[in-house]
Amino acid sequence: MRIRLLKVGAITVGLCALLVAGVSASGPAKTTATFTRDVAPILFNRCIECHRNGEIAPMSLLTYQEVRPWAKSIRQRVVERSMPPWSADPHYGKFSNDPSLSQKEIDTIAGWVDAGSPKGEDKDMPPTPKFVEGWTIGKPDVVLAMQEEYAIPADGTVPYLYFTIPTGFKEDKWIQAMEIRPGNRRVVHHVIAFVQEPGAKGRGAGGEAQQGRGQLGGITPNKTGVVFSPGTARIVKAGSSIVFQMHYTTNGEATRDRTSIGLIFAKEPPTRTLVTGNAMNTRFAIPPGEPSHEVKSSTTFKEDVHLTSFMPHMHFRGKDFTYTAVYPDGRSEILLQVPKYDFNWQLTYVLEKPVALPKGTRLDCVAHFDNSTKNKFNPDPTKEVRWGDQTWEEMMIGWFSFTRDAQQRETAVAKSPSAK
């Protein structure tokens, strides 16, 4: 058996598997590793959030019998560092959710595979991790679900879908914690939730929600619920709706899903507000066959803020993405560089320590798009490509989250002309 890269959704599957076996460029480890003593702890730490029964990955990696058939494929992916999924250049920034394997872990897995993938002694096997049943954030104050189940076909590619869920809130609510729970984890690749305020137009990628006024959070295969720091909360205004951007992946069996979101309200008004903004450019035209077309956007902060995370967004032609802070004194600093963007993984990069940006700092985003025949994911290299909701069109959005003084009433960022 070998791992194969599936279309948009199923890539989740291959990614975690990669963790299982990695090869070192320097060759096999000197000491023969065994599954029970050396490899299982790595898998339990890195892979089984996805690779267990009932989750998105196509195979479970909890036991030696389950892992052994995949050893060589896992080795290849770990050596490539394509597993676990992570695209940030390690030279810029430190991120709390970086799942990358250490070189020692790669060497351990490589040595195990090169030695024939021995099982080892049963007594060395670590206890199987226990996973929290129910809500990981605690009991939500409110649970909002898709109004109807959605039917996912057995085969084929399901386009990105958008589902609007009215909150019914009669007053503004401060959100202290949130968790998105797929109704069917086997087919939900990822979900992004947006807040759509009353009167906003558009419900999809080109509408109000996707314009950055209310990204609430999301879930990917290696991300569960989020509890915000004490004194920090997000606001959901009265009468708002929640919009789910759903990415489903088929798995050979027709099934259904009804995803929900749980919210816990802050017990008192926060001292800092968590906000999601963006540097976005909708006015571009990518020429046919162009291998590295550059698109820029920027935004300027109108008050002191602390950046907490980034999420670059493009479609199939997205090639790379860079965030750079240009400070009022003229200094510049690369905060995140994604040299090999992968549309199939909508990753959020959470800073290990928030970055303080003084008033007047400009955040520049630079993206490149590959519209050539060398891009194997390119829907049609003969077409000029412009902004659009569909995956065969393109987007250039540099999402970012930051905290600000909760007493501030004015807009924290001002877009440059390129981001209009």
Gap between the Cα atoms of 201 and 193, Å rounded: 16
Q: Does 404 score more than 70 pLDDT?
A: yes
CATH of domain 133-269: 2.60.120.230
Q: Is the predicted pLDDT of residue 22 greater than 70, yes or no?
A: no
Please say if the pLDDT value at position 385 is more than 50: yes
- Who contacts 281 (Cβ-Cβ below 8 Å, separation ≥6)? 295, 296, 297, 396, 418, 419
Q: What is the pTM of this model?
A: 0.80
Q: Please, which pLDDT band fits residue 140 given cuts at 50, 70 and 90? A: very high
**What values do phi and psi take at 92, rounded to 5?**
-125, 115
290: phi then psi, degrees, rounded to nearest 5: -70, 120
Residue 409's pLDDT band (cuts 50, 70, 90): low
Helix extents (H) in 69-228: 71-80, 103-114
Neighbour count for residue 279 (Cβ, 10 Å): 27
Query: Contact 236/283 with Cβ under 8 angstroms?
Result: no
Q: Which residues of 146-185 are buried (b: 16+ CB within 10 A; e: fewer)?
A: beeebebeeeeebebebbbbebebeeebbbbbbbbbbbbb
How far apart CA 322 and CA 338 sit, in angstroms, is 6
Domain boundaries, the chain: 11-124, 133-269, 271-420
Within this chain, domains 133-269 and 271-420 share the same CATH topology:
yes
User: Do residues 306 and 356 make contact, with C-beta atoms less than 8 angstroms apart?
Assistant: yes
Question: How much is the average pLDDT of 331-354?
Answer: 93
Q: What average pLDDT does the segment 151-162 reach?
A: 91
* Residue 57 or residue 363, greater confidence: 363
Distance CA 6, CA 25 (A): 27
Looking at residue 25, its pLDDT comes to 45
Q: At the topology level of CATH, where does 271-420 sit?
A: Jelly Rolls (2.60.120)
**Span 142-155, average pLDDT:** 96
pLDDT at 134: 79
How far is Cα 87 from Cα 341, in angstroms, rounded to an integer? 7
- The answer for residues whose C-beta is within 8 angstroms of residue 224's C-beta and 6 or more apart is 136, 179
- What kind and span of H or E run contains 278? strand 272-280
Percent of the chain with pLDDT over 70: 84
Q: If you average pLDDT over every residue of the chain, what do you get?
A: 86
- Bridge partners of 179, per DSSP, are 262
CA 22 to chain centre: 23
pLDDT category, 298, cuts 50, 70, 90? very high
**Distance of alpha carbon 234 from alpha carbon 174, whole angstroms:** 6
With 90 as the cut, is the pLDDT of residue 133 above it? no
Query: What is the four-CA torsion angle of 38, 44, 46, 51, rounded to 10 degrees?
Result: 120
Report the SS3 class of residue 219: strand
Residues 191-222 have pLDDT tens digits of 889 899 887 765 444 443 444 456 777 776 55
Whether residue 322 is predicted with pLDDT greater than 80 in this model: the reply is yes
Counting other chains too, the contacts that 253-256 makes at CB distance below 8 Å and 24 or more residues apart are: 253/154, 254/151, 254/152, 254/153, 254/154, 255/151, 255/152, 255/184, 255/186, 255/187, 256/149, 256/150, 256/151, 256/152, 256/183, 256/184
pLDDT tier at 26, thresholds 50, 70, 90: very low
Q: What is the pLDDT of residue 186?
A: 83
Q: What is the pLDDT of residues 222-276, one digit of tens each?
A: 566 888 988 999 999 999 999 998 989 888 999 999 999 999 999 998 999 999 8
- For residue 71, give both structure tokens: 């050893």
pLDDT digits (tens, 9 = 90+) for 39-82: 999 999 988 888 888 777 778 999 999 999 999 999 999 999 88
Residue 151: strand, helix, or coil: strand
pLDDT value for 224: 67
Distances (CA, A) of 88 to 61, 279, 343, 345, 420: 26, 19, 14, 12, 27
